[in-house]
Amino acid sequence: MPLSFLKTIDAWYMPLAERLSKHQAAASRTLLIGVNGSQGSGKSTLAALLTQLLVENFGLKAIDLSIDDFYLTRQSRLLLAKQIHPLLETRGVPGTHDVSLLCKTLQQLTRENRAVSIPRFDKACDDRYPESEWDKVSAPFDVVIVEGWCLGTPAQTDEELHKAVNDLEAREDPDGSWRRYVNEQIKGRYQDLYQMMNFWIMLQAPSFEHVYRWRLEQEEKLAEKLLQGEQENSSRNRVMTATQINRFIQHYQRLTEHALKQLPGRVHYRFSLDADRQIVACDEPLPV
């Protein structure tokens, strides 16, 4: 582990874990914590690390989940693509998650005194693993952390939906039906999920341009691993070119930019990131 990251843990994440442990002790019940962060911001690392710190340093029973494991099956998304809009075949935006399953799983993790199955999604196959291969954990938990790029993002106004924000929307969603559908999903089922959270944490990127660069860096690292033989040869066709990444990231541009504007004042703990994804500040917009 790089020395710089160890310093990040000591300066930012350990104090946060300590505060969360105190919140849990005072509440005497399961805490549900939502983590928002754009692609490449480090939200998965933060969620996993917080879980480890809460378990090893504070003796709590904690687990972290990713909203990515709760995507609708490929068959379900193909049906949405056929009935509503072709862009819904691509996983990621609100409306492509099984929110009911996620809410049910969270309820089980807080209440059930038995084994709970945690869904898993295979991004290589773009489909959910069979239920027989889902992880099983023993509930209840003291802390459950859920992370996702769109988690907590509020809906937009009708006026904000009118103008396309990029070439993808202009060419493939000229009438705005895709973005209106996504927005309606946020207004509906996603509100049930948001309201379950007791605390919100945000990793705030400097801008969407940085998100694109971070995503490009991720793909370059993947390509390097494949060239070094660390992955199976059959995986090499999954590496995207810069052009493909540019199109892919445009699916998320609208809500990423909206979250960067709207969420900072709606979270309990906000970590501001610089261009190199290093934390430069932390504040508490909402009282805790």
Confidence band of 21 (pLDDT split at 50, 70, 90) = very high
Name all domains of the chain by residue range, CATH numbers in brackets. Answer: 3-70+143-283 (3.40.50.300)
What pLDDT score does 229 carry?
66
What pLDDT score does 224 carry?
78
Single-letter residue type at 202: M
What is the mean predicted confidence (pLDDT) over 212-237?
70
The share of the chain scoring above pLDDT 70, in percent, equals 95
DSSP secondary structure string for all residues of 101-157: HHHHHHHHHHH-SSEEEE--EETTTTEEPPGGGSEEEESP-SEEEEEETTTTPPPPP
Strands 127-128 and 269-273: unpaired
204 in Cβ contact with 149 (< 8 Å): no
Alpha carbon distance 189, 181 (integer Å): 12
Task: State the maximum Cα–Cα separation within the chain, in Å, rounded to a whole number.
Answer: 53
Confidence band of 272 (pLDDT split at 50, 70, 90) = very high
Whether residue 252 has pLDDT greater than 70 = yes
* Residue 94, preceding peptide bond in cis (omega within 30° of 0): no
What pLDDT score does 142 carry?
97
Of 51-60, 72-81, 96-105, 207-216, minimum mean pLDDT range: 207-216
- Spacing of C-alpha 21 from chain mean position: 22
pTM of whole model > 0.85?
A: yes
Average pLDDT, the chain: 93
Residue-wise pLDDT tens digits, 106-115: 999 998 788 9
Mutual angle of helices 177-187 and 189-196, in 10-degree steps: 40
Whether residue 235 has pLDDT greater than 50 = no
